[in-house]
Amino acid sequence: MVIGALAEGVTRRVEAVGDSISGTFFEPVIRLGVTGLARSGKTVFITSLVANLMDRARMTQLVAQADGRIVTAYLQPQPDDTIPRFDYETHLAAITAAEPFWPESTRTVSELRLSLKVRPTGLLGGFSGPRTIHLDIVDYPGEWLLDLGLLEKSYAKWSRDVLDWAEKRPQARDFLAAADAARGRETWEEPDARALSDAYKAYLVAARDAGHADITPGRFLLPGEMEGSPALTFAPLPVEENAPRKGLWREMERRFEAYKDRVVKPFFRDHFSRIDRQVVLVDSLSAIHGGPQAVEELRRAMADILGAFRPGRNRFLTSLLMGKRVEKILFAATKADHLHHTQHGRLTAIMEALLRDASDRAAFAGAETAAMSIAALRATVEETVSHNGAEVDCVRGRLLSTGRQAALYPGELPEDPKRLLNPARSLAEHWLDADYNVMAFAPAPLRLKPGEGPPHIRLDRAAQFLIGDRL
C-alpha cells in the first residue's frame, strides 16, 4: 500500500466504516479505472461487474470464486469525499426492470467501493480468517485522457491539428467561417469569445454525433461545474504571426494554457495517478459499421489514449507518477453479444491489431496487457438460420427501435485484421468486399436464479485478468 493511502486512512478514521483502525491498515485496496470513449459501455460494465461480483454464479472463470474462496462481497461508502458516487442502484434498476432499459449516459468521473471477504490460499488459509480487499472502481471518460496530448502542444500547434481535420468535415463549416472572421481581431469583448467557442462546441457535438472520435478538448462536451468559465471558453484559430498582445488570438492562447493547468493537470493528479489496474472499453463494432474512416479515427484516438499509459513520453506525467505505474491494462471490445461466438476470436484479433498499431510496438512501461471481446450485459441469444440454402450464424434480440424481436447477421469479420486496418489507414470511402451491420438491441428481461448476476460474455475472464491475482 502506498504511503498516501495510509495517510488517508488515518485522517478518515473517524468515518471509517466499521473498520478498526488496524483493520484499515492491513486491508489492501485495488483501484480499478474504467474508461473508454462516450457510449463505449463503461456504465453497463461497472454495473454488471459489481452485480456479478456480489452474486457470483456466473463468475466461474474467476479463480478465487471457482476455488470457493470468496466468502462475500458488499458495497461500502466510497473513500473519496469529493468524487460523486457511481449510481449503482439506479443503473442496476434500469437493466433489471420488468421492461429493462439501458442506463442513462454519464458524463463525469464517479467512484464505487466494493469490498470482498476472501479466504487466503494455501497453507495460510487454514490459520487465518478471511481477508478484506477493497475494490475501488473509478469511471471516467476516455476523452479526458486525450487531453494529455494537449500538455505537450502549444496553442498554435493544437489549433493547426484541429483545423486540419475540421476542414475535411461538413459539420465544421459554420465554425470555420467564424474562425476565419476572427483573424487578426485586435479588440474583442467576452460575447465574441463566447460566440466563437459556442460555434466550436456546436461543431464538436455534430462531429461526435457523426461518430468522430477526435473530440478535443475532452472537457468541452462534458463541462461539469466549470461550464462558462474562461478556461472552457476558447476555440482553435488559424496561426497568426505577431498576434497583437491584447488581441483575440492571444486571449485564446492564454485560455488554452489555463485549461491545461486548471482542468487537465488536476484530473491526472487527483484521479489518474492513483489507478492500479485499468480497463479500456472500445466499441470497435460500431466503428467497423461506420466504415474505414471511423476505424482510422478510432485507431488514432486509441493511440492518444494509450499515450497516457506510457508516461515516459510525457514530462508532466513522468514527474507526477514518480515511478508508480498501472500494473495491468485490459483492452476490451465491448458489446460482443452483437456477434455469434464463432466470430469473437476475430474481433479480439482486430482489437489486438488496433493496439499494436496504436502503440507503435512500444511497451506500456512494464504493465501487463491483454485484449478480449466481452459483453457486460448479454442482450441476445445465438441462432442459426437457413438463408438461400446456407446456414447463417446470427444473434437474436429485441430491437431498441421497435421493441420487436429480430435476428441479425452482422457480416463476417475478416480473419486477417489487416483487411480492415489497411483500408482504414488509406481512409477509403467504403469497405470493398464486405458490409457490416449493427443493430441496437434493448436489454433482455432477466429471470435470475438466487446467486446469479446478469448474463454476460467473458466478464469473469476480464475480472480474473484485472484483479484475480490479488484475491
Ligand X SMILES: Nc1nc2c(ncn2[C@@H]2O[C@H](COP(=O)(O)OP(=O)(O)OP(=O)(O)O)[C@@H](O)[C@H]2O)c(=O)[nH]1
Task: Pick the closer one to ligand X by CB: 43 or 132.
Answer: 43
Task: Pick the closer one to ligand X by CB: 41 or 236.
Answer: 41
Beta bridge partners of 278: 33, 329
- Are 120 and 128 in contact by the 8 Å Cβ rule? The answer is yes
Q: Which of 102, 158, 203, 465 touches ligand X (CB under 6 A)?
A: 102
What cell numbers appear for 470 in the block? 490479488
Backbone angles phi, psi at 111, to 5 degrees: -145, 150
- For the residues of 418-442, what is the DSSP string, one character each? HHHHHHHHTT-SS-SS------PBP
If one asks whether residue 40 binds ligand X (CB under 6 A), the answer comes out as yes
Report the site for ligand X in 113-152 (rule: CB under 6 A).
141
Nearest to 36 by CA among 117, 135, 105: 105
Nearest to 140 by CA among 211, 219, 212: 219
What cell numbers appear for 223 in the block? 463541462
- Are 182 and 175 in contact by the 8 Å Cβ rule? The answer is no
Q: Which of 86, 200, 441, 465 touches ligand X (CB under 6 A)?
A: 441
Amino acid at 42: K
Cα(359)–Cα(394) distance, integer angstroms: 33
Residues within the interface to Mg ion (CB under 5 A): 42-43, 106
What radius of gyration do the chain's Cα atoms show?
Answer: 24
Name which of Mg ion, ligand X, none residue 441 binds, using a CB cut-off of 5 to 8 Å depending on partner kind: ligand X
If one asks whether residue 38 binds ligand X (CB under 6 A), the answer comes out as yes
Instruction: Compute how many residues bind ligand X; rule: CB under 6 A.
Output: 23
Task: Pick the closer one to Mg ion by CB: 43 or 293.
Answer: 43
Minimum distance of Mg ion from residue 95's CB (angstroms): 13
Beta bridge partners of 74: 115
Name which of ligand X, Mg ion, none residue 299 binds, using a CB cut-off of 5 to 8 Å depending on partner kind: none
Name which of Mg ion, ligand X, none residue 335 binds, using a CB cut-off of 5 to 8 Å depending on partner kind: ligand X
Minimum distance of Mg ion from residue 141's CB (angstroms): 8
If one asks whether residue 155 binds ligand X (CB under 6 A), the answer comes out as no
Report the site for ligand X in 318-337 (rule: CB under 6 A).
334-335, 337
Q: How far is CA 6 from the centre of its chain?
A: 28
Name which of Mg ion, ligand X, none residue 40 binds, using a CB cut-off of 5 to 8 Å depending on partner kind: ligand X
Instruction: Note the residues at the interface with ligand X (CB under 6 A).
Output: 36, 38-44, 102-103, 105-106, 141, 334-335, 337-338, 375-377, 379, 440-441
